Amino acid sequence: MRVVRLFMSMSLDGFVADRDRKPIALFPDLENLRNTPALAEMIEATGAVLMGRRSYEMGDTEEGYVEYEHQVPIFVVTHRVPNEPAKHDPGKGLSFTFVTDGVESAVEQARDAAREGMSR
């Protein structure tokens, strides 16, 4: 049986981004965090990522998702599909699917993609 895990980092006062909607302030030493066994285990167990449009846009920077820790299919719940996806390297396994028909559909699609990826 596959498991859907919810992972989100949040400050104690309830924010998932700084005042400028940038996540960097919440992770002052992201490189050290990436090298921890706990994060390595979580990355290894992740078959797909589900995120909202605002979270997606926070990662849509000049560097894009090229170095994003989860190089797996990403499903973005949104009301509107962007003209072009954020910068990424499809050769690493990351792809974007913009889901406009609701969270339930996005979870189902992400679960199917994770199942397919884990069976390889």
What is the set of domains in the chain, with CATH numbers?
A: 23-118 (3.40.430.10)
What is the H or E stretch that residue 75 is in? strand 73-77
The reported pLDDT for the residue numbered 34 is 73
How do residues 7-21 score in pLDDT, each as one tens digit?
Answer: 666 654 555 666 676
Residues 6+ apart with CB under 8 A from 81: 98, 100
Altogether, the residues listed in the chain come to a count of 120
User: Which tokens hold the place of 64?
Assistant: 């894009």
How sure is the predictor about 33, in pLDDT bands with cuts at 50, 70 and 90?
A: confident
How sure is the predictor about 97, in pLDDT bands with cuts at 50, 70 and 90?
A: very high
Rg of the chain in Å (alpha carbons): 14
Give the start-end residues of each E strand in 9-120: 49-52, 73-77, 95-99
Please give the model's pTM, rounded to 2 decimal places: 0.75
Q: Which amino acid is at 16?
A: V
How do residues 39-92 score in pLDDT, each as one tens digit?
Answer: 888 888 899 999 988 888 888 888 888 888 889 999 999 999 999 889 998 888
